[in-house]
A = this chain, B = another copy of it.
Amino acid sequence: MAASKKAKAGAKRAAATSSKAKKPVKSAGKSAAAAPAPADAHPVSPLAPAKYQQLRPIAGVRLGTGMAGIKYKNRTDLLTVVLAPKTQVAGVFTRSKTASAPVDWCRKSLRQGQARLLVVNSGNANAFTGAKGVEAVTQTAEAASARIDAPASEVFIASTGVIGEPLPYGKIINVLPEVISSAAPSMWMEAARAIMTTDTFPKLATQQAQIDNARVTINGIAKGSGMIAPDMATMLSFVFTDAAIPAPVLQALLEEGVRDSFNAITVDSDTSTSDTLLLFATGKGGQHDPVTKPNDRRLTDFREKLFAVLKDLALQVVRDGEGARKLIHVTVTGAETREAARRIALSIANSPLVKTAIAGEDANWGRVVMAVGKSGEAANRDRLSISFGPYRVAHLGARDSSYDEEKASAYMKRDVIEISADVGAGKAQATVHTCDFTDGYIRINGAYRS
């Protein structure tokens, strides 16, 4: 089977130091029985983590995957997550003016703050599908709702893939009962694989946190990997915890947490119509007293660990940016405001000329100067300093007198590149994360739909 052959080759590097990750987790249901396969024929990103994180079960969360055959053959393309009754939910979504039908649906369902089921398909985004798109979401939610004996408004739906093709939702409804009944607590790797499109590796992250005397778990999965830019940059990410936190508090934490994670990454400046990040709290873990405010001190550790999971997933999305060979951290200091710093950093991170220079391992700081200049934000040309990693290449508006081309060039050969620019206009700073721009991106995107 060609697809599963590719799957194995693709997974090789990522699994090299982790025999556990390689071993297919036994699936509980028939439709989920096939070995999980990556989405596409693209070789696995050289920036893939050497080892996958092992995610433990979360009380009140069961995951099931299946093959609905929406677009992909011989791989899973459907994920359902069955959640304990009264699971609380928060979400942030794309700000696109042409958001998809599932995004509209989730935004509406979010108002009542509870979730019983998450249904995600890959291969078709159900975006720009007009009345048919609304019908697909409604029918899917109602079919699922009947199955789990909960209102349709507690069914959350996300779709990723091609835009503008009607979603053959009948295929989802067909396998839904089987996939739901196969759901099991340990299927994190399968879940992460089922939602992949052009991703070359599954994205998972986990942390444990303390609330009062209770130890709670936070698990997340995500998929990228083109059409990635704030806001949101995810495209899809789902995070789960067994902590007992009410929806309004979850929402506040999530909105704070995306700022330096999913909203600080960009692959190609293109914002998807489908970007969805949902955070679910089942309240079925170790018991702790109720938390009612986002600034409750007892949430300090949880907040930190949640943000760590979000950042971890966001950086994995960048590491799997289409065609990416390098992870780039761009830090701007000396800006007038934090927002100005962020805009300048994004101007650098989104510049095709900067990104191609990094791909060419060229310490071409002149292009960084250009990108600072085009941002439109206040910058003092004659006080501008630019560094690549520890090497300051420009200072006070000109090449640094101590600049050593050889050292900088050696630095540029690394997998992870840090660009810092001090723009000499104030005291604010911001960091964003991106990847380089290679012929791989062109290859992948010049032939994605056809």
Question: Which of B370, B382, B437, B438 makes the CB contact (< 8 A) with A271?
Answer: B370
Contacts of A163 in B (CB 8 A): 366-367, 369-370
Contacts of A131 in B (CB 8 A): 398
Which of A125, A378, A382, A448 has most B Cβ within 10 Å?
A448
Which of A129, A374, A396 has most B Cβ within 10 Å?
A374
Contacts of A229 in B (CB 8 A): 374
Contacts of A364 in B (CB 8 A): 448-449
Contact indicator B366/A270 (Cβ below 8 Å) = no
Contacts of A376 in B (CB 8 A): 95, 97
Contacts of A447 in B (CB 8 A): 360, 362
Question: Which of B96, B353, B374 makes the CB contact (< 8 A) with A96?
Answer: B374
Tell me the nearest residue of chain B to A374, going by C-beta: B271
- Residue A439, interface by CB 8 Å: yes
Contact indicator A449/B352 (Cβ below 8 Å) = no
- Residue A213, interface by CB 8 Å: no
Within 8 A of B (CB), among A348-397: 350-353, 356-357, 359-360, 362, 364-367, 369-379, 381-382, 384, 394, 396-397
CA distance A370 to B357 in the complex (A): 27
Contact indicator B357/A98 (Cβ below 8 Å) = no
Contact indicator A381/B99 (Cβ below 8 Å) = yes
Tell me the nearest residue of chain B to A350, going by C-beta: B269
- Residue A72, interface by CB 8 Å: no
- Residue A132, interface by CB 8 Å: yes
Contact indicator A164/B399 (Cβ below 8 Å) = yes
Contact indicator B446/A357 (Cβ below 8 Å) = yes
CA distance A445 to B350 in the complex (A): 15
CA distance A373 to B104 in the complex (A): 14
Contacts of A448 in B (CB 8 A): 357, 360, 362, 364
Q: What is the interface size of chain A, counting residues whose CB is below 8 A from a CB of the partner?
A: 72
Contact indicator A399/B166 (Cβ below 8 Å) = yes
Q: How far is the CB of A275 from chain B (nearest CB, A)?
A: 10
Q: How far is the CB of A92 from chain B (nearest CB, A)?
A: 16
Contact indicator B398/A128 (Cβ below 8 Å) = yes
- Residue A165, interface by CB 8 Å: yes
Tell me the nearest residue of chain B to A377, going by C-beta: B97
- Residue A24, interface by CB 8 Å: no
CA distance A353 to B266 in the complex (A): 13
CA distance A99 to B441 in the complex (A): 31
Contact indicator B98/A162 (Cβ below 8 Å) = no
Contact indicator B128/A384 (Cβ below 8 Å) = yes
Contact indicator A162/B366 (Cβ below 8 Å) = yes
- Residue A450, interface by CB 8 Å: yes
Contacts of A56 in B (CB 8 A): none
Mask of A417-450 contacts with B, CB within 8 angstroms, 1/0 = 0000000000000000000011101110111111
Contact indicator A373/B442 (Cβ below 8 Å) = no
Tell me the nearest residue of chain B to A269, going by C-beta: B352
Contact indicator A443/B449 (Cβ below 8 Å) = no
Can you pick out 22 interface pairs between chain A and chain B where the beta carbons lie within 8 Å of each other? A96-B370, A97-B374, A97-B375, A97-B379, A98-B370, A98-B373, A98-B379, A127-B369, A127-B370, A128-B366, A129-B399, A131-B398, A164-B366, A164-B394, A166-B398, A227-B353, A227-B370, A269-B351, A270-B371, A273-B370, A360-B445, A364-B449
Q: Give the interface of A toward B (CB within 8 A).
A: 94-99, 125, 127-133, 162-166, 226-227, 229, 268-273, 350-353, 356-357, 359-360, 362, 364-367, 369-379, 381-382, 384, 394, 396-399, 437-439, 441-443, 445-450
